[in-house]
Amino acid sequence: MKKNNLIINGLTIMVFAMFGCSNPNQKKEEVRLITLNPGHFHAALVQKSMYEGVSPEVYVYAPEGDELDAHLRLIEKYNTSEEEPTSWKENVYKGADFLQKMLSEKKGNLVVLAGNNKEKTNYIAQSVQAGFNVLADKPMAIDAKGFDLLKSAFEDAKKKNVLLYDIMTERYEITNTLQKELFMMSDVFGELEKGSKDNPAIIKESVHHFFKNVSGAPLIRPAWYYDVDQLGNGLVDVTTHLVDLIQWTCFPEQVLSYQKDIKMNEAKRWATLITPSQFKKSTNKDSYPEFLKKDVKDSILSVYSNGEMNYTIKGVSAKVSVIWNYQAPEGTGDTHFSEIRGTKASLKIKQGKEQGFKPVLYIEPKQKDNMDYKKSLFDGFVKLAKKYPGVELKETSNGYEVIIPESYKLGHEAHFAEVTKKFLSYLKDGKLPEWEVPNMIAKYYTTTSALELAKTTEN
């Protein structure tokens, strides 16, 4: 009996180690969230929903200030929402030593990170070292030095038996999801073309805006959001999503090697110009802080938020670009364009005026009037509609539009819950899919090496 008790106790300790928990007397099924220095509204969006097996008690560690106050207001808004209110209880520690306090108290077992990117990679590394699981907003690294530290953090996570994962919401946007489904239908898409530097086989472009509404209210950005030393250049920020979609869509569940499979050919960056009045409207700050003065000339702030990279991944040519404007035209928002070119058809996502600034997925066959192809396409859609009921095809001048029921269009904010649920399932299993960690490393190598190349080739 004594031997059996030892075995049971040993198994219990193993279970708690898997969740980054050092106390076997705590509830073994419970995940306890820690929010570390929430400087971006994405931290709050993780808590816009409740999750099975996750304690409503959340421990927040941060310095005092507007960013923390804004985060707590959003949590309270979700708690008091008329539609599906949450029930989070925020236990807040305010102080300059917030990181040390979090590491020493070990109140939770899952650290959520979304904020100033200058220190984020360090926060990730120290959290993992201390035995915490980490769910981090992108980007997890913003330069070559951060990439090296991130690689070490993944090695430490393996040693500590904890999970480190980034929040890739765009995988859950329905047009991206269906683009991947169609890509995997060889009778519809064919084989992925190789393309060339001048005619890439894969194109991902996005347009974003500094000033916009979130959860029905104007989004107030922290002043550091305009400092690429703290937020990250455009080449390493939003492009994280685009590079991820290329890997996830075109090389599904394949383990990528950043040393062998990624080759950066060209990269460039350029600035968005921000006026004092725009800065004040976006940040509620009357003047530029000292750390931005280096980027100000004649009262105009230059932000290197735009970039373009041209690279090959497993021999396939890809182009990624991101543009940040100050504010979208009335009735519009962030936009996305995607093209993946196959031997039988191109799969495109457009989000312009013709689409009402909403993403729409198109299939453009190489031979539109080929009846054999048309039969294969409609046969494929019969199978697709079983997985996604209500999805239909509509003929266009260039091919077909994929008609998607509104019920699938959850919106960007809802995608955070989808990512979190997926990560919680990985925590329950005690592991990530085999391809996720090497592909995260490949992704951040792609973005940070693009920035390094852009800097070295600037005039």
How far is the C-alpha of 273 from the C-alpha of 291, rounded, in Å?
17
Weakest-pLDDT range from 209-213, 280-284, 289-293, 344-348 = 209-213
How far is residue 368 from each of residues 345, 400, 401, measured CA to CA in Å? 9, 9, 13
Q: What percent of the chain has pLDDT over 90?
A: 84
Checking if the pLDDT of 19 tops 80, the result is: no
Tens digits of residue pLDDT in 270-322: 999 999 999 999 999 999 999 999 999 999 999 999 999 999 999 999 999 99
CA dihedral angle for residue 73, residue 140, residue 262, residue 184, rounded to 10 degrees: -40
Checking if the pLDDT of 59 tops 90, the result is: yes
Sketch out the chain's domains with CATH numbers: 12-166 (3.40.50.720), 171-418+450-457 (3.30.360.10)
Mean per-residue pLDDT over the chain, rounded: 92
Checking if the pLDDT of 252 tops 50, the result is: yes
pLDDT at 412: 86
Split at pLDDT 50, 70, 90, the class of 22 is very low
Checking if the pLDDT of 13 tops 70, the result is: no
- Angle of CA points 49, 54, 56, to nearest 5°: 70
Based on the number of CB atoms within 10 Å of its own CB, is 96 exposed (0-12), middle (13-18) or buried (19 or more)?
exposed
Split at pLDDT 50, 70, 90, the class of 88 is very high
pLDDT at 437: 98
Which DSSP category does 199 fall into? S
Which residue from 55, 32, 40, 52 is spatially nearest to 113, judged by alpha carbons? 40
Weakest-pLDDT range from 50-64, 209-223, 282-296 = 209-223
Split at pLDDT 50, 70, 90, the class of 9 is very low
The stretch 117-143 carries a mean pLDDT of: 97
Is the model more confident about 290 or about 217? 290
| Beta strands per DSSP E along 275-357 | 296-297, 300-313, 316-327, 335-341, 345-350
Weakest-pLDDT range from 9-13, 79-83, 381-385 = 9-13
DSSP run (H or E) holding 12: helix 2-18
Split at pLDDT 50, 70, 90, the class of 215 is low
Structure tokens at 350: 């457009």
Q: Residue 241 contacts by C-beta under 8 Å, 6 or more apart in sequence?
A: 138, 168, 169, 170, 206
Q: What are phi and psi of 151, to 5 degrees?
A: -55, -45
How far is the C-alpha of 101 from the C-alpha of 16, rounded, in Å?
21
DSSP run (H or E) holding 326: strand 316-327
Checking if the pLDDT of 329 tops 50, the result is: yes
How far is the C-alpha of 105 from the C-alpha of 276, rounded, in Å?
42
Split at pLDDT 50, 70, 90, the class of 328 is confident
Can you say whether the dihedral through the CA atoms of 459, 241, 433, 161 is positive or negative? positive
Checking if the pLDDT of 435 tops 90, the result is: yes
| pTM of the predicted structure, to 2 decimals | 0.90
Structure tokens at 295: 């980027």
Structure tokens at 284: 């509620």
